[in-house]
Amino acid sequence: MSRRRGPRAPIRLNALDRAIGFFAPERAVLRGAARFVLTAASGYAGARRDRNATKGWAAKAGASADYETLPDLDILRARSRDLVRNDPLARSAVTTKVVNVIGPGHVLRPEVDADRLGLTPEQAEEWEALALDIWTDWAWSTDCDITRHQTFAELEDLVYRSRLKSGDCFVVRRFKTRKGRLLATALQVIEADRLSNPNWAADTETLAGGVEMDEDGAPIAYHFADRYALDRHGAGAPTWTRVPAYDANGRKLVLHIHGPRERPDMTRYAPMLAPVIEGLKQRSRYTEAELMAAVVSAIFAITTKSEDGDLSESLARLATSKGAATADRSEITLDEPGLVYDLLPDESIENFAPNRPNPQFGPFIDAVAREVGAGTDLPFELLVKQFQASYSASRAAMEMAWQFFRADRELHVSQFCAPVYEDVITEAVARGLLKAPGLLTNPLRRQAWLGAAWMGPARPTIDPVKDATADEKYLDMGVTSLTRVAAERFGTDYRTVRRRRALDGTDEREASRAPAPAPGPSEETTQQSDDDKTDGNDQEKPDAD
């Protein structure tokens, strides 16, 4: 069965094609056909090159992720940080994510796989308690930071905030023995700018953006400069240090903290604000211009008009009346209420009607803020910190934001928190502070020993009563647990809550205040009830004939 085809569009030859066709007709036809394929033969309107909306669109075809990203990273980082420093909307975008993803830091709860390890529940709980004590001793001290400035929770904030502003961040595992400390593990946080090719050499197939890779594209080393490119306090040119990606036992020495990998073979990452940098800057300029126009409009109260355009005599009279020796023609001072002075002939005073503030300023700024929120995965209400919509709309915005926060939290835990916890417990076992057979030799048992749950900041809520009611129903349905409710609603471990309630006697006080159960029927009443049921008819009935 043949298929009918529509009429074909003619291949148009331009003057150059016709000139070439005079000597080589086949070549001219091929040129025209190629042009036809590139323009009119596209099945997608977005791929057309002969339309005004798309012919100036210089998108790169066949370019790798590094080719499109690495050359722009320096200027993207600089502009992103400048916006966070000076633009309130950009700062709000970063701060809102940091507060909801990191907050005061994640709370750790060790969870070993007792069945795989052959531990009783009591042994597992005892080991988890000791592991938590060792982690707390390390994480709550500023000695976990190589610079001794921040605790682990503060390092979480720094690492995640740096990732948002710069695109990625790096944490190097160091060992620093210090007096009075159980462990020597320490973390060195390095900003994205210091990772670069030695001597700023050009990228190659195995070295791009300061990351040295093997033939499979896996990182094997990172090259860090000893200082930033513009720092002048150092003597001489910067020097680079090559840090292996893994140690001799295959454990990570360098943690690369970044956002989701959007394309294969992606080596470095752009800042969170990259898609909205231009819009944020233009909005900032527009806001500044409108504010300045409003200030200038507010300064002018009246204007003076003269037919001949010369107000020097009036100004001189005004200045003389105020005790000034000379008059400044560029300034009229009205610093006293009810000031009146005589005008010369052909002079008049006119009111100044300012056109500021612009009534369209607010709606326009809100429209730009909505685009910025869409580009940074933040609902408009959270970005501008205003909840003026209905309860349902505000709750939907919070639920949508929570989806992004939870995904970002999982990524942060897997890239930063979990590897650091692994390093701390591994050193504790190596030093004999913890006993974990097989942790250093068996990968499966190592995974069983290092199980842990990380609880971040509490889930935002608009109506706590409704959320608590929903949690009760979910508990009754058996689809959640008190552990999860405590983690999501309060960011804490339910076992800690239960232990604290026992110490405070909360359960006993609640039990004492609970109403006594209704008394059941007494034995005498029950007997009487049974007697009533017989009602004297307990004699055997005669058999029916």
DSSP codes joined into one string, 360-382 = THHHHHHHHHHHHHHHTT--HHH
Q: Alpha carbon 36 to chain centroid distance? A: 46
- Judged against a pLDDT cut of 50, whether residue 511 lies above it is answered with yes
**Residue 88, preceding bond cis, omega within 30 degrees?**
no
Confidence of residue 534 (pLDDT cuts 50, 70, 90): very low
pLDDT > 70 fraction of the chain, expressed in percent and rounded: 77
Residue 140's φ and ψ, nearest 5 degrees, are -85, 0
pLDDT tens for each residue of 70-80:
999 999 999 99
pLDDT tens for each residue of 18-57:
777 777 777 777 776 666 655 555 577 777 777 777 777 7
* pLDDT of the residue at 135: 96
* pLDDT of the residue at 240: 94
* pLDDT of the residue at 2: 46
* pLDDT of the residue at 312: 57
Output the CA–CA distances (angstroms, integers) from residue 91 to 96, 261, 541, in the order listed.
8, 24, 93
**In the chain, what are the helix, strand and coil shares in percent, each to the nearest 5?**
50, 10, 40
Q: What is the 3-state secondary structure (H, E, C) of 238-275?
A: CCEEEEECECCCCCECEEEEECCCCCCCCCCCCCCCHH
* pLDDT of the residue at 466: 85
Beta carbons of 59 and 45 less than 8 angstroms apart: no
Q: Which helix (H) or strand (E) holds 109?
A: strand 107-110
pLDDT tens for each residue of 84-116:
999 999 999 999 999 999 999 999 999 999 999
d(CA 320, CA 333): 13
- Judged against a pLDDT cut of 60, whether residue 544 lies above it is answered with no
pLDDT tens for each residue of 321-355:
555 544 444 455 555 555 555 566 666 666 656 67
- Judged against a pLDDT cut of 80, whether residue 11 lies above it is answered with no
Confidence of residue 145 (pLDDT cuts 50, 70, 90): very high
Confidence of residue 163 (pLDDT cuts 50, 70, 90): very high
Beta carbons of 182 and 134 less than 8 angstroms apart: yes
Average pLDDT over residues 436-441: 94
Among 443, 444, 432, which Cα is nearest to 115's? 444
pLDDT tens for each residue of 243-285:
999 999 899 999 999 999 999 999 999 999 999 999 999 999 9
What sign does the CA torsion over 437, 441, 447, 452 have? positive
